Amino acid sequence: MKTRIYDLTLSDGYCNAIQDAAQTIKDGGLVVFPTETVYGLGANALDEKAVSGIFMAKGRPSDNPLIVHVADVSMIAMLADLSEPQAKAVVDTFMPGPITIVLKKNNLVPYTVTAGLETVAIRMPNEKYALDLIRKCQLPIAAPSANISGKPSPTRPEHVLQDMDGKADVILLGENCLYGIESTVLDCTVHPARILRPGAITQEQLAGVIELALSENVSDSDKPKSPGMKYNHYKPNAAVIAVKGNDADVIDYINRAACESSGSAVLGFSELKDAFTVSHFFSLGNKELPQESARVLFAYFRECDRLGVETIYVMCTENEGIGRAYLNRLLKAADQVIEL
């Protein structure tokens, strides 16, 4: 397939690009578009055949449901039951934004989108390009992250091209993604609501607005509430080793381990840079600012692969705020977790 690629950051041709992408969605094609979390691979959510194309392009298992992207509240009400006060409160407070809510679906939503579930995941991105696209085609857009299944989600234009050039009809390139990590997924079909996937809208923020259930750990043997969480995720080609402990022990461990294996990189906090003897150091930003760590994690995984790094040692944030989302993705990607 010859992919039509547009750079939305150029002032010329913007309307033409959105017009082509919207028509492609209407015609049942596949469009990659930027959002504030990660890039998405979209199709008309109401067209089963188009949605099947997403699963094929990504190599995604068909039992892993998709998120449907909308531009406004009336589109949510068209697809799902929004009568629950807790769902309404979340919509009013956090949408548009980096959060997805799971609601009881209505008949308009095909089971191909929901992987046979009676519920549908819905998100209103806070990103001009994505909203312009949805408004132009006037259709809800089903879209998973625009990576080959299992790989780190693409958060920068060059990463989208690596995975989706030749697989989608249109690619819309924007800036590097603001959050760099997928949306929080919140199940609003249960009382109290439950976080199925941590993201940039944090447990602490949500607890300020609605009652929250404690999240369960999802294991492979259970029938998971969020089917996607059971799969191996976010993996670069390099081995990922997450290292937990106090800074001095972590630095000591990584410096020793890395000198024994060739081709190592470290993802560490900026203030500790000088303490590492490893040749490739990638800064996760300041330890006190986990939003920066979350924003760069996937991009660094891909950069390490580009450099042919064999082992990536990664420092851990505190398990709070957006640090929860960072740790969730890191631990899912990790081949090994060292607790010192």
Part in contact with ligand TXA (CB under 6 A); list of ranges 5-13, 72-80, 143-151, 307-315 = 143-151
Residue 100 binding result from Mg ion, ligand TXA, none, given CB thresholds of 5 to 8 Å by partner type: ligand TXA
325 binds, among ligand TXA, Mg ion, none (CB under 5 to 8 A by kind): none
Q: Which of 51, 82, 91, 123 binds ligand TXA (CB under 6 A)?
A: 123
Instruction: Output the CA angle 112-118-123, nearest 5 degrees.
Output: 75
Q: Is 183 in the site for ligand TXA (CB under 6 A)?
A: yes
Sheet holding 170-173, edge to edge: 4-7, 170-173, 31-33, 40-44, 141-142, 67-69, 119-123, 99-104, 184-187, 193-197, 212-213
- Identify what 168 binds: ligand TXA, Mg ion, none; CB under 5 to 8 Å per kind: none
- Applying CB under 6 A, among 44, 86, 202, 226 the residue interacting with ligand TXA is 226
Q: Binding to Mg ion by residue 155, rule CB under 5 A?
A: no
Other C-beta atoms lying within 10 Å of the C-beta of residue 247:
14
Pair 18, 26: CB distance under 8 Å: no
- Scanning residues 54 to 83, which ones bind ligand TXA (CB under 6 A)? 64-67
Considering only residues 30, 38, 265, 304, which one is a binding residue for ligand TXA as defined by CB under 6 A? 38
Question: Taking CB under 5 A as the rule, does residue 145 contact Mg ion?
Answer: yes
Of 115-123, 239-247, 255-263, 296-304, the window that binds ligand TXA (rule: CB under 6 A) is 115-123
DSSP state at residue 217: P
Q: Rule CB under 6 A: say whether 144 interacts with ligand TXA.
A: yes
Question: Which residue of 44, 100, 112, 155 would you call a contact of ligand TXA, by CB under 6 A?
Answer: 100
Site string for ligand TXA, 287-326 (x = CB under 6 A): ----------------------------------------
Q: Residue 209, Cβ neighbours under 10 Å: how many?
A: 15
Residue 197's binding partner, choosing from Mg ion, ligand TXA, none, with beta-carbon cut-off 5 to 8 A by kind?
ligand TXA
Contact with ligand TXA (CB under 6 A): which of 22, 29, 37, 82? 37
**Residue with structure tokens 């109401």?**
46
Residues linked to residue 213 through DSSP beta bridges, in sequence order: 194
The alpha carbon of residue 110 and the mean position of all alpha carbons in its chain are separated, in whole angstroms, by 23
Tokens 């690629």 sit on residue = 5
Burial class of residue 72, CB neighbours in 10 A (0-12, 13-18, 19+): middle
Is residue 326 within 8 Å of residue 181, measured between CB atoms?
Answer: yes
Q: What are phi and psi of 136, to 5 degrees?
A: -65, -40
Question: Does 228 interact with ligand TXA (rule: CB under 6 A)?
Answer: yes
- The verdict on 32 binding ligand TXA (CB under 6 A) reads no
Contact map string, positions 232 to 271, toward Mg ion, x by CB under 5 A: ----------------------------------------
Measured from the CB atom, the residue of 226 and 311 that comes closer to ligand TXA is 226
Q: Is 194 helix (H, G, I), strand (E, B) or coil?
A: strand
CA–CA gap between residue 172 and residue 114 (Å, rounded):
25
**Using the rule CB under 6 A, which residue among 8, 31, 79, 102 binds ligand TXA?**
102
Q: 104 exposed, middle or buried (CB, 10 Å; 0-12, 13-18, 19+)? A: middle
Among Mg ion, ligand TXA, none, residue 110 binds (CB under 5-8 Å by kind):
none
Residues 286-305 within binding reach of Mg ion (CB under 5 A): none
CB 332 within 8 A of CB 240: no
| DSSP reduced 3-state for 170 | strand
For Mg ion, the binding residues (CB under 5 A) are: 145
